[in-house]
Amino acid sequence: MKWMAAAALMLAPVLAWAQTGTCPGLKNPDLKWNQRQGDNYTLCYIELPGSVSTGFGVYVGHRTFKPDKKAKAEKGTVGTQQVQWYTKATPGNARPYSREAMIVIPGDKPKSKLKVYAWIDAATAEQLNQAYAIAKQVALN
C-alpha cells in the first residue's frame, strides 16, 4: 500500500499537466515542444536538431498501445520513469531506429487510467541516442 501512495505522489505532476492539456515540463530550457491539442488528448513533439521527420514525442490520452509481438524490448527512461522501449515499425523501414513505450498512470476508476505514449522517430543510431537524451529531460515528477 505504501508503494501506491509513493507512486501517486510521484505521478501527481503528470496528472496536473495532462488535465490542463499542456505538454509536460522539460528540464532543459533550450528544448521546446511543438503541441497539438485534440478533443481528448494532447500531442507533444520535439524535432531533433537539423531534422524534420525524426524526434521524440508524447501522446497523453486514453490510447491503447500494444507492441508488435516481434518487437525487441529494451529498458530505458522517460524523465525518471522506467519504461520498456520497443522497436517501432515505420513505413518502408525509413526510420529503423524508431522506438515506442507506454507509461500508465492510475486513475480514480479502473477505466480512467491515463496513458502517456512516448515515441522516438530515428533513422540512425546517433538520432536514437539524441532522442533518448531528450526523453530524460521530460519532467514527469
Q: Is the dihedral of CA 42, 23, 12, 9 positive or negative?
A: positive
pLDDT tens digits, one per residue of 56-109: 999 988 777 788 888 999 999 998 888 999 999 888 888 999 999 988 766 666
Which grid cell is 53? 521527420
5's CB contacts (< 8 A; 6+ apart) are none
Taking the C-alpha atoms of residue 78 and residue 133, their distance in angstroms, rounded to an integer, is 9
**Domain assignments of the chain as residue spans, ordered by start:** 2-139
CA distances from 7 to 81, 112, 140 (A): 11, 16, 12
pLDDT tens digits, one per residue of 112-135: 666 789 999 999 999 999 999 999
Q: What's the whole-model pTM score?
A: 0.76
Q: What are phi and psi of 93, to 5 degrees?
A: 55, 35
Higher pLDDT, 53 or 99: 99
CB 19 within 8 A of CB 27: no
Q: Count Cβ atoms within 10 A of the Cβ of residue 112 and give its class: 0-12 exposed, 13-18 middle, 19 or more buried.
A: exposed
> What is the reported pLDDT for 44?
94
Q: Using CA atoms in the order 127, 53, 104, 72, what is the torsion angle rounded to 10 degrees?
A: -50
Q: In Å, how far from its chain's centre is CA 135?
A: 7
